[in-house]
Structure 1
Amino acid sequence: MTMAGTRSALGALVLLAAITALAPATGRAAPQPRAGDGEQTFTPVIQDVLSPPRWFRGIDNRVHIEYELRLINGFPVPATVESIQVRRGGGAELDELTGDRLLTAMSPLGRPTSNETTIPPGSVAVAYIDLTVDGPDQLPKRILHSTTVGVDPSLAAPLPVPEAIVETGAPARVVQQRPIRIDAPLSGPNWSTIIGAHRRALEPVNGSRANGERFAIDWNRLDQQDRPAFGDPASLSSSPSYGAPVLAVADAKVVKTLDGVPDQVPDDFTPVGTAEQLDGNVVVLKLDRDVYAGYAHLIPGSVAVERGDVVQAGDVLGRLGNSGNSSGPHLHFQVMNAPSLLASDSLPFVLSRFRLRGIVPSLDAFGDAVAGQTPVPFETQGAGPYRNRGPVGIDIFDLP
């Protein structure tokens, strides 16, 4: 909007206010300023938390609280987020995102792989928050956000806006309930966990926004030489993961299955026909009230259960494949609050037991090993047995 356009909008508001003041009473008193209302200030960026923050304890022994902070620029000029402070409900600071940490956390809505701290006029960004505390006893019951936003006053004129505005708001209650404990969905040595883009999988589904994948994991197996692939890259058998039995993570009831979606040829992706086929061949288990486990990308024809079946922990549900929206064999696994991998809210979980072999330094390092069919590099600090913990990055596990 131009400066003239801004003045025109303000003039219209002034005219509307004058007309309202002169209009006859209709039985309802017009709102009046109250004593103690305080100074009125423009806050270009409106903030809110999209879903209740939830937590799990990771292999780093930290409690990770995961959620999304939506940032809406309601101004006709760009607004740059300079910092986000996360505070306890009582005001004590828990964390502050600035600089590279802030840039890494923020993305425009709908473009999760882009990192930008400047929000264009009339646009929406999301800060993907990974808040950590020492242990469950340090878990906040309520959080607030103090967000500092910069606006160029010369662009905002004639609106009276300072160069930096601090707004404290976006309150949210942190879910205190402990994460569900489950067995691993696979067995045997050398399984890598990739969280990656799942943290940012906000999707517009059925007229609303959903993130059923916030805590999801992609599982890939390494061979005895720690390679994620070997042989002909176009062959599904080049993946050590392909065909592995996929297991029930708990005693549960089967509430949904889908079979018959063909496997993709690795690195030769063919778009699927419907949203329902994005996850390929699927099994969904009901673990508890409003708690479901979803398995995706199974081999066509391998689904071994039907809706209504009752399964025990460790039962084979199908075989790891490459069906649906998948560029290479892997198991996509998630826990959610509804029997849909898309139209749900993701729930955290911890694995009952496993042995950590090591931690891969970056997703790029893993990708280079896939492309070059070379051993995945990993650091062995912290290696050993774990109980009731969750992965926090690209970790290599030996599973029972």
Structure 2
Amino acid sequence: MPSTSRTTATIALCCLLAGVAVPSGATDAVRESFDLQVPVAPTPVAVDGRERLVYEVHLTNFSNQPLLPLRVDVRDADSGAAIAAFSGAALRQRLAFVASGPGEESALPPGMRGLLYLELDIGRDAPPRALEHRVTYAVAGDDPGRHFDVRGAPAAVGRPAATILGPPLRGGPWAAVYGPEWERGHRRVVYAADGRATIPGRFAVDWFRLDGQGRLSPEGTGTGDARAAHGYGEQVLAVADATVVGAHGDHPEAGADGPPQKRRLADAAGNYLVLRLDDGRHAFYEHLAPGSLRVAVGTRVRRGQVIAALGSTGDSRRAHLHFHVADGPSTLGEGLPFALDRFRLLGRYADIADLGATAGIRSPRERWRCAAASCRRPITCSLSAPTRTDVPRLVAPRPYRGRECAPAG
């Protein structure tokens, strides 16, 4: 009987040590620190012929001291091979506290949560079966040379499952806008509703119509009346055979360019449509023009069918189409990857600030050069004459990187 008790005590102690932090290179203390979680399993998505994992690690400080993350390592859970590491400015840029933005050099207070936004390039090789994470941190006010490690957040890597869709628009050129590093870009906007925190726009794309000179409207940048923008009123298309499960169409236009009037969360999407795809996922179209919806809840639509018109309703500064795919019919559902089956890539912007501020296209293979003084370098675009009007022609800001419109489009 005594032997059994000692065995039980040894097992309990081993389990305790496996879940807590110890000083880097030392084993003199057991201490509470971060709870590490990966709420949404990373799924490989092809970008420019390379596989990427797009996901988040949640760090919650369960200790009674402020903790300062110094380094995060991502490894293959099976082989232990290093996949990525972030420290210094690179870590600060990716780590955002729930109550503040990125770039903070302060420690995470007790009870506070931080989100680490990751987009890992795993190349052409087969993705790892699972990931593990290690966070190196210091205690605020402690000896600056004293660091601790905590390991956790095991994450099984999902199978590639990006939904292949038809284009939501036709013709062009269109600018497909997405910036995973932007503090308030879709990728980094978290909502907590219905009992869970979600990122609806994890793979969302904003589509802006350009003219032959790269302008958003005749006067250049898309300011003024939303109806003057080149994209206003453009036909919006069903991306797949689907059933309409959500619709709202009587919001007025948001108004002239500038900081958008902040609306209730329920009204932020403006006029919208939600399509339930046959695979159970949901496609969202937001900021649609007032009175433009051609379908209603319950309507069965076919791929390529005109379902509405592009507008600027809800939280919108310029006429554009917001499009994303999610796991449910709520506009605050979890964002999922998707891919377009066809488009023609014309080029990329070097900086999002250049969007709409270009001029001087004189031949299909010339470079667009900035008309605005704020532009720092040329925008390279290889242009060619359109051949099919149903194939979108894209000019993408720098974050757009290739065949997938999901993680980088």
Q: TM-score, normalised by structure 2?
A: 0.78
The structural deviation recorded for 1:254 is: 1.1
Deviation track 1:91-137 (CA, whole Å, cap 9, x = no partner) reads 2111111233212211111545x3225433222211101011113x5
SS of corresponding position for 2:90: helix
The DSSP-based 3-state class of the residue aligned with 1:327 is coil
C-alpha contact 2:52 2:123 (8 A) present in aligned 1: no
2:154 corresponds to which residue? 171
Specify the code of the residue in structure 2 equivalent to 1:75. S
SS in 2 for 1:237: helix
Residue matched to 1:341: 331
- The reply on whether 1:88 has 2:65 as its aligned counterpart is no
Instruction: From 170, 189, 213, give the equivalent of 1:187.
Output: 170
Q: CA deviation at 1:384?
A: 12
1:225-240 mapped onto 2 (5 Å cutoff): 225-231=213-219, 233-240=223-230
2:300 paired residue number:
310
> Offset of 1:264 from its aligned partner?
0.7
Contact 2:241/2:278 (8 A) holds in 1 = no
What percent of counterpart residues are identical?
A: 29
Q: Structure 1 stretch 115-124 or stretch 291-300: which is displaced more?
A: 115-124
**1:374 deviation in Å?**
5.5
Letter in 2 for 1:337: D
Instruction: Report the counterpart of residue 224 of structure 1 in structure 2.
Output: 212
The equivalent of 1:214 in structure 2 is: 202
Contact 2:214–2:357 under 8 Å retained in 1: no
Distance 1:182 1:62 in 2: 20
Equivalent residue number for residue 363 of structure 2: none
Distance 1:93 1:396 in 2: 24
Corresponding position of 1:15: none
User: SS of the residue aligned with 1:189?
Assistant: coil
Could you say if the C-alpha distance between residues 347 and 357 of structure 1 is closer, same or farther in structure 2, counting changes exceeding 3 Å? same
Counterpart for residue 344 of structure 2: 355
Q: 1:144 aligns with which of 129, 132, 136?
A: 132
- The 3 A distance-change label for structure 1 pair 384 and 36 is farther
Q: Using the TM superposition, give the Cα deviation of residue 396 of structure 1 relative to its aligned residue in structure 2, in angstroms.
A: 9.7
Structure 1 residue 34 corresponds to structure 2 residue 35 = no
Aligned partner letter, 1:271: K
Per the alignment, residue 270 of structure 1 pairs with: 261
**Distance in 1 between residues matched to 2:236 and 2:146, nearest whole Å:** 55
Correspondence for 1:21:
none
The residue aligned with 1:331 is: 321
Cα distance in 1 between the residues matched to 2:401 and 2:229: 16
Distance 1:278 1:349 in 2: 23
8 Å contact 1:88–1:94 — kept in the other structure?
yes
Q: Aligned pair in 2 of structure 1 residues 394, 226: CA closer, same or farther (>3 Å)?
A: farther
Hey, what does 2:249 align to over in structure 1?
259
Preserved contact between residue 193 and residue 394 of structure 1 (Cα < 8 Å): no
Q: What's 1:99 paired with?
A: 88
Q: What letter corresponds to residue 221 of structure 1 in structure 2?
A: R
SS in 2 for 1:34: helix
Q: Which amino acid aligns with 1:214?
A: R
CA offset at residue 176 of structure 1? 0.7
Assess, with a 3 A threshold, how the Cα gap between structure 1 residues 368 and 320 changes in structure 2: closer, same or farther: same
CA contact (8 A) 2:37 2:152 kept: yes
Shift of 1:35: 7.3
Change (3 A) 1:111 1:329: farther
Q: Which structure 2 residue ranges, 5 or more long, are not aligned? A: 1-7, 18-26, 180-184, 360-369
Cα distance in 2, alignment partners of residues 44 and 206 from structure 1: 28
C-alpha distance in 2, partners of 1:200/1:368?
Answer: 26
Once superposed, what is the RMSD of the aligned Cα atoms?
Answer: 3.3
Alignment CA distance shift 1:264-1:382 (3 Å): closer
Tell me the distance in 2 between the aligned counterparts of 1:202 and 1:303.
Answer: 28
Q: Match of 1:145, SS?
A: strand
CA contact (8 A) 1:242 1:320 kept: yes
Shift of 1:63: 1.4
Name the CA distance, whole Å, in 1 between partners of 2:345 and 2:277. 26
From 296, 321, 326, the counterpart of 2:311: 321
Name the structure where helix makes up a greater proportion of residues: 1
Q: CA deviation at 1:55?
A: 2.9
Take 2:136 and 2:383, find their aligned partners in 1: how far apart are those partners? 37
What is the match of residue 34 of structure 2? 45
Paired residues of 2:213 and 2:358 also in contact (CA < 8 A)? no
Mapped partners of 1:317, 1:373: distance in 2 = 36
**2:244–2:273 CA contact under 8 A, matched in 1:** yes
Instruction: Give per-residue Cα distances to partners, 1:169-204, cap 9 Å, x unaligned.
Output: 110111113211111111112111111311112111
Q: Is the alpha carbon distance of 1:218 and 1:175 closer, same or farther for their aligned partners in structure 2, counting shifts above 3 Å?
A: same
Equivalents in 2 of 1:92, 1:204: separation in Å?
A: 35
Moved more, 354-363 or 331-340: 354-363
Task: Tell me the matched-pair count.
Answer: 356
Query: Which residue does 1:203 correspond to in 2?
Result: 191
Q: Please point out which of 76, 94, 104 is paired with 1:116.
A: 104
* 2:368 is equivalent to residue 378 of structure 1: no
Partners of 2:397 and 2:253 in 1: CA distance: 29
- The TM-score with structure 1 as length reference comes to 0.80
Q: Counterpart of 2:92 in 1: which secondary structure? A: helix
Letter aligned with residue 298 of structure 1: L
Letter paired with 2:261: T
How many angstroms apart in 2 are the aligned matches of 1:368 and 1:150? 45
